[in-house]
Every structure is written in structure tokens, then in C-alpha cells.
Amino acid sequence: MVVWQERGARVVTVTGQLDVDNVAPLDETLRKAAQDGVAPVVVDLSAVTFADSTTVNVLLRAHTALGPALRLATPSAFLERLFALTGLDTVLPLHDSVAEAIDAEPSSPLGADGGDRET
């Protein structure tokens, strides 16, 4: 996991498999961002090859804690399918790129329901 600042946003890039054994650093980073009042927080998911229910729960808790400050960018094909199958694509704030996620207005509609992503 790599974390950096870009244009006022905290960007978190995660790679590989995210599961019960290794999702804790992402969870801690997102919890700390919520405690610190950091906004926005962009999670780049483009290189995630697998995620389990623990990862889904981490993202949902972060969404609850951060609200519109949490923005998920470039979900991998695996995650797009997972989010679509579970309906999370209508709940979680998905964006086509890190730049788009950084620039998104907090009040803009989120997820496939709101039209941020083309289907």
C-alpha cells in the first residue's frame, strides 16, 4: 500500500489480494483519515486482484465514517464485478480515475445510481 497527498487529497493505492490476512493496513489508514478529518480520501483500486468480505466491510465502514469524503477510483475488473453482484456499485462512490475522484464535488451523486460511471 502506498499513501500520498495530491491536490489536497489523501490518495491510497492498494495492490494484489485484499483479504482477512492483509486488509488491516488499509483499514487502519482509512480509520486514521476519518479521525484526522482528512478529506477527500481516494482509494485507488486498479491493481486489486481479489477482495473478500472483510475488504467489503472495511470499505463500508470507511464510507460510513468518511461519507462523501471517501472516493474509490478505478476499481479493477474483479472489484467492478464484485461491487455489481453485491449492489455496492450503487452505494460506494466509484470514479473512473484518481484525478476524477479528487476533483469530484462532495455533493455530486455517487455510484452507478448517480451516473458518475458509465455502464
Give me the DSSP letters along 73-86: ES--HHHHHHHHHH
Q: For the whole model, what pTM was predicted?
A: 0.87
Residues of the chain scoring pLDDT < 50: 107-119
Answer left, alpha or beta for residue 115, where phi above 0 means left and psi between -120 and 50 means alpha: left
Q: What is the DSSP letter of 70?
A: E
Domain layout of the chain by residue ranges: 2-114
Q: What is the DSSP letter of 119?
A: -
- CB contact at 8 A, 70 and 93: yes
Beta-bridge partners for 20: none
Beta-bridge partners for 12: 3, 43
What is the pLDDT at residue 39?
87
Domain 2-114: which CATH number of 3.40.718.10, 3.20.20.70, 3.30.750.24, 3.40.630.30: 3.30.750.24
Instruction: Classify burial at 41, counting beta carbons within 10 Å of its beta carbon; exposed 0-12, middle 13-18, buried 19 or more.
Output: buried
What is the pLDDT at residue 106?
72
What is the amino acid identity at position 87?
A: G
What is the pLDDT at residue 108?
42
What does the alpha-carbon distance between residue 5 and residue 11 come to, in Å, rounded to a whole number?
A: 6
What is the pLDDT at residue 113?
41
